Amino acid sequence: MLDNLENSEIYQKETYKDAVIVSNRAFIAFLLIEQINFTIIVHTHAIEFEPVVPKSVINFDKLVRLDIANYTLETAKLMNNTLILQTAFGIENFESTLKIPLEAIFQIAINQDLIALNYYEPQEKEIDSLDVFLSNPANLELLKRKKR
């Protein structure tokens, strides 16, 4: 059956995604337990930033490299199928908590040594412009004033 599939189709199968999650969880759990510094390359669109990092601080490409060391390593933890960590960006050291789905991790490396690589690419979430508008408290205040 797999002989008839293009590689891109194989890498988007749910069973491949599940294997990626299991593999990435095992590698990251090991690295966190052993407190080993490591680097991950992640599909940026899948990362949830709290708070959102302003584009004036840093503008991310399709993939982002994150060095997990020092404070970021100390704060890193696995919850369900998500790597959660705190880090800072730019010369302003803008702090944000990142929630990274394990399937969104493209590479894991120790120093320059690649220890995990996967070809699963999470689908981009559809953005509802009304939800984005309503998520800003200032916009909600404008709507309340308009109703008066």
Question: Residue 140: its pLDDT value, please?
Answer: 57
Which phi and psi angles does 44 have, rounded to 5°? -55, -40
Closest CA to 27 of 121, 86, 113: 113
pLDDT in tens, the chain (148 residues): 345 555 678 888 899 999 999 999 999 999 999 999 999 999 999 999 999 998 888 888 999 999 999 999 999 999 999 999 999 998 989 999 999 999 999 999 999 999 999 988 887 765 555 555 555 556 556 666 666 5
Residue 11: its pLDDT value, please? Answer: 86
Residues paired with 113 in a beta bridge: 110
pLDDT for the residue 28: 98
Q: What are the residues whose beta carbons fall under 8 Å from the beta carbon of 24, sequence distance 6 or more?
A: 102, 103, 105, 108, 116, 118
pTM over cut 0.85: no
Q: Which of 92, 106, 112 minimizes the C-alpha distance to 46?
A: 106
Give residue for tokens 């982002």.
64
Phi, psi angles (nearest 5°) of residue 134: -75, -15
- Facing residues of 63 across strands? 43
CB 8 within 8 A of CB 27: no
Domains and CATH numbers, the chain: 2-147 (2.30.30.220)
pLDDT of residue 130: 56
Count of CB atoms situated within 10 Å of the CB of 29: 13
Contact 69, 37 (CB under 8 A): yes
Q: What is the number of residues in the chain?
A: 148
Return the bridge partners of 94, or none.
89
